[in-house]
Amino acid sequence: MSALPLSGIKILDLTRVLAGPLSAQMLGDLGADVIKIERPGTGDDARAFGPPYLEDPEGKANNNNSFYLCANRNKRSVTVNIAKPEGQAIIRELAKDCDVFMENYKVGDLKRYGLDYEAIRKINPGVIYCSVTGFGQTGPYAPRAGYDAIFQAMGGLMSVTGHMDGEPGAGPMKVGPSIVDYMTGMNTSIGILSALYHRKVNGGEGQHVDVCLYDTVIASLSHYAQIYLVSGRTPPRRGTWGNGGMPAGVFRCADGELMLVVGNDAQFARTCAVLGEPELATNPKFLRNNDRVVHGKEIMAIFAGLFLKNKVAHWLDELEKAGVPSGPVNDFAQVFADEQVRSRGMEVKVDHPFEHSLSLIRNALTFSGTPVTEYRYPPRLGEHTQDVLSSKLGYDDAKIGELKKAGVI
């Protein structure tokens, strides 16, 4: 079996919270050696984002919570105070040997410490320096800070998410998870991998990669944003209704709900037959998908009444036989109990010092020749400080002790 795709790539990760750490985690999953730099004492901001926390065997309070655990496996944690000159020197020494330098500080912050792109490039001309920010390195908003929900609001995502106007609870709504952070993490990984490839095939040239949440959320709106650019009209909120084929949405059944997406006219005809109303498929108002979009409220109301006549399992079984895409509305317990999810191994177990069999979510990429099989637990704060400073920089115990005493590490 071949080595992992990124074996040999060295990453110095100064990112915190979610978008940057998620990207560094993905690169670590793929074989990169990721050294995560954290503040002494407090660490990554995510460690303080609240419970649930892992239970310390000795009953002590700790900072290994779910928010941190989801984005920091396959890394080594090194604590360095970059506000101190000695800490800045440590980062520069580590940066001399890295392929990728990742950071998500506000624009200009690292320049004060001599850790900005120009400074790092002088000591490592081939470095891929990736900055992850809220608004990017340029533009009037560049100095601003921000979090996922702010970008869901500003970028237009909330304007098209939520119950339809006129329904109870109508109005802009945030998507539950920090989806913009996650997408930004993916874009960050794509940017870094592209820059690494460019360096490899173009003679060792490094560069500065600029990724931000605001750009990402706008780009992610895809066909929704394109509707506005073509027509000048913002698409309305559609609740659970689909975005193309109709009818599509959540339908209540006798004992729960299911999600249905009728993607074309043939599927519509088969769905009508499953529901016991085959003549609906020949009704001129519903004959073609464009017709069903125009008369969406009417066909959705008809389907709503029909689905109430039987249970979720019945309808899902019949729709599956008819080749119509549908699925249950699962909670997380049902997701991780699902036979497909279990078959794909989406829940992986790691041996954490606090929990022998800690569950994590596996990397979503599957390779035939270089499968991701190693999942090392998200490190405890500063767990690898001594090892890294000793093995990479040659610091002896006395020097490491002095740095600890001075609050540098």
Q: Which pLDDT score is estimated for 145?
A: 92
CATH architecture for segment(s) 10-219+353-405: 3-Layer(aba) Sandwich (3.40)
Structure-token pair, residue 369: 């020749």
Residues with Cβ within 8 Å of residue 231, at least 6 apart in sequence: none
- pLDDT tens column, 133-155: 999 999 999 999 999 999 999 99
* Rg, C-alpha atoms of the chain: 25
If you count them, how many residues does the chain have? 409
pLDDT digits (tens, 9 = 90+) for 167-179: 899 999 999 999 9
DSSP for 276-339?
Answer: T-GGGGG-GGGSSHHHHHHTHHHHHHHHHHHHTTS-HHHHHHHHHHTT--EEE---HHHHHH-H
Q: Where are the domains of the chain?
A: 10-219+353-405, 248-329
Query: Is residue 37 predicted with pLDDT exceeding 60?
Result: yes
The tens digit of pLDDT for each residue in 334-369 reads 999 999 999 999 999 999 999 999 999 999 999 999
pLDDT band of residue 204 (cuts 50, 70, 90) is confident
Q: For 223-248, write each residue's pLDDT tens digit.
A: 999 999 999 999 999 999 987 889 99
pLDDT of 205 above 70: yes
Q: Is 181 a catalytic residue?
A: yes
Beta bridge partners of 36: 13, 77
- Percentage of residues in the chain having pLDDT higher than 90: 96
Report the chain's mean pLDDT, rounded to a whole number.
96
* Tokens (6 digits) for 383: 């767990």
Which pLDDT belongs to residue 396?
Answer: 96
Q: Torsion-angle region of residue 97: left (phi > 0), alpha (psi -120 to 50) or beta?
A: alpha
Q: Which two tokens stand for residue 28?
A: 């670590």
| Residues forming a β-bridge with 349 | 359
Give me the DSSP letters along 97-144: T-SEEEE-PPTTTGGGGT-SHHHHHHH-TT-EEEEEESS-SSSTTTT-
The predicted pLDDT at position 154 comes to: 98
Q: For strand 355-361 and strand 347-352, is the pairing parallel, antiparallel, or unpaired?
A: antiparallel
pLDDT at residue number 242: 83
Q: Do domains 10-219+353-405 and 248-329 have the same CATH topology?
A: no
Average pLDDT of the segment spanning 81-105: 98
Pull the structure tokens for residue 107: 């624009």
pLDDT tens digits for 280-310? 999 999 999 999 999 999 999 999 999 999 9
User: Is residue 311 predicted with pLDDT exceeding 80?
Assistant: yes
CA 314 from centre of chain? 34
Q: What is the pLDDT of residues 9-31, one digit of tens each?
A: 999 999 999 999 999 999 999 99
Q: What is the DSSP letter of 346?
A: -
Q: What pLDDT is attached to residue 61? A: 94
Find all residues with CB under 8 Å of 230, minimum gap 6, and list them.
none
Is the entire prediction scored with pTM above 0.85? yes
Identified catalytic residue from 13, 44, 148, 181: 181
Chosen CATH of 248-329 out of 3.40.50.850, 3.30.1540.10, 3.40.50.300, 3.30.70.20: 3.30.1540.10
DSSP of 228-281? HHHHS-PPPP-TT--SSSSSEEEEE-SSSEEEEE--SHHHHHHHHHHTT-GGGG
3-state class (DSSP) for residue 38? strand
Spatial distance between the Cα atoms of 285 and 290, rounded to a whole number of angstroms: 9
- pLDDT of 1: 53
Query: CB–CB of 135/146 below 8 Å?
Result: yes
State the average pLDDT over residues 328-333: 97
